[in-house]
Structure 1
């Protein structure tokens, strides 16, 4: 008969020596022998019992209940049969968990599915028209900014578009309020508003103060953009230009860089 020191037993069972010491301390698995110096020695029977403990533990049975199960009268075969029943139930539970995770993943994929033009129109109302997107592609389809924007959109689902719409509406509300209060371009609050506008663009592609000025000028030149900004495109331009000038942009020689 072989006896195993605690390190050897731990290696065989693939547990830590700390685990074996804990099982010993709570009376779950006491080693069959000890040396004169007090070192634990585990017998083959101890290891067989430890394997049963591991099966119960893997099945999710608390250690206290494992001790009670092992203390019940019955043969090793009966205990193994009980362990098998627990494992079968554990397998069924894991299968249910896998199905639940698959369902969550499927729902997440549906949320990230690119929206059709009709779905975008449903979210944005009259602010989104398929012909606008077609016109934009004709004008800027060969630019890096267009490619960045398209790549971003391909990763967006309905929740992302709804967030974009909500952020846009919030910005328009702030812009109108600032205009009605006569907020001075170049002020601290105006700078925050310009930064919010810059962030709204940068989620699609990289934008510099110079690019922001040229975009704001386009909003004024195209009534469709002015309508999107609730008639405040000119006021937005004044805010953007004041901030760009403060950041060193020459408003008489603005470049797309």
Structure 2
């Protein structure tokens, strides 16, 4: 097949196939992760089928939580090298799961606070009905893994000070955010836009009642959402999109996405 016979995709067409924004493709080009095979006389990007396939591989690795700076090395590496890199990535992902502690332990502390305020104990059945059938697993995991951490202690303190009205208000904000995220995704709100910033800030507002938050922590939480299938119930098919929104906002605020710290 000659170069002229190959399929050509504009940046908009390639973005639609890959279900990412054109801004994302431009960023990948800038960092030489996915460089289009051709450009028109007007300097417009044209992508080949091989380029699109590489883009799909990028999304697979990104969905596994691999940093963009490491994906090119993975794609271009030998099979044995990829195995070693992926094993290391698996270990890193397990470490990142630690950041779910603030969300998970908030549930347990919330229940404790309710017990103290109302003078009654909720049964296990009540807790499962309120927070889902996986609550006992999350509760036990949080206590065993993070019960002696500073973040756990701070989370317990913050939630214990919340009134019942505060708790209901926080849950309402969370529900509003879910719908806001769905609407933004369906309307293809571009990462980095003013509308996207509002979505990102709304997400921050769903977490901040339970723990001290920062944009860096928000990035790591969003990456965890993508890496941990247990968050599919909360954010469904919008997890990757939410990550794109949060990372774009963090980058605009000067955060190095290749070196994000929990701080």
**TM-score normalised by structure 1 residue count:** 0.52
Separation of aligned partners in 2, 1:197 and 1:183: 15
Q: CA deviation at 1:159?
A: 3.9
Cα distance per residue 1:123-164 (max 9 Å; x no partner)? 3445x6122122123333232221111122333454443333
CA contact (8 A) 2:115 2:121 kept: no
Structure-to-structure mapping, 1:1-257, within 5 angstroms? 116=122, 118-126=125-133, 129-156=135-162, 158-257=164-263
Separation of aligned partners in 2, 1:177 and 1:167: 15
CA contact (8 A) 2:191 2:245 kept: yes
Separation of aligned partners in 1, 2:207 and 2:169: 14
Q: CA deviation at 1:167?
A: 1.7
Q: Aligned pair in 2 of structure 1 residues 190, 254: CA closer, same or farther (>3 Å)?
A: same
Q: Aligned pair in 2 of structure 1 residues 139, 114: CA closer, same or farther (>3 Å)?
A: farther
Q: Aligned pair in 2 of structure 1 residues 198, 115: CA closer, same or farther (>3 Å)?
A: farther
Q: Aligned pair in 2 of structure 1 residues 240, 115: CA closer, same or farther (>3 Å)?
A: farther
Q: Aligned pair in 2 of structure 1 residues 176, 208: CA closer, same or farther (>3 Å)?
A: same
| SS in structure 2 of the partner of residue 123 of structure 1 | helix
Q: CA deviation at 1:239?
A: 0.6
| SS in structure 2 of the partner of residue 232 of structure 1 | helix
CA contact (8 A) 1:114 1:154 kept: no
Q: Aligned pair in 2 of structure 1 residues 178, 206: CA closer, same or farther (>3 Å)?
A: same
Separation of aligned partners in 2, 1:115 and 1:234: 38
Separation of aligned partners in 2, 1:255 and 1:114: 40
Cα distance per residue 1:155-192 (max 9 Å; x no partner)? 34544433332221111011011111111011001101
- Partner residue in 1 for 2:59: none
Separation of aligned partners in 2, 1:125 and 1:192: 28
Q: Aligned pair in 2 of structure 1 residues 131, 125: CA closer, same or farther (>3 Å)?
A: closer
Where structure 2 has 5 or more consecutive residues not aligned to the other structure, the ranges are 1-113
Q: Aligned pair in 2 of structure 1 residues 144, 110: CA closer, same or farther (>3 Å)?
A: closer
Q: CA deviation at 1:212?
A: 0.7
**TM-score normalised by structure 2 residue count:** 0.51
Where structure 1 has 5 or more consecutive residues not aligned to the other structure, the ranges are 1-107
| Paired positions, count | 149
Higher relative contact order (CA 8 A, sep 6+): 2
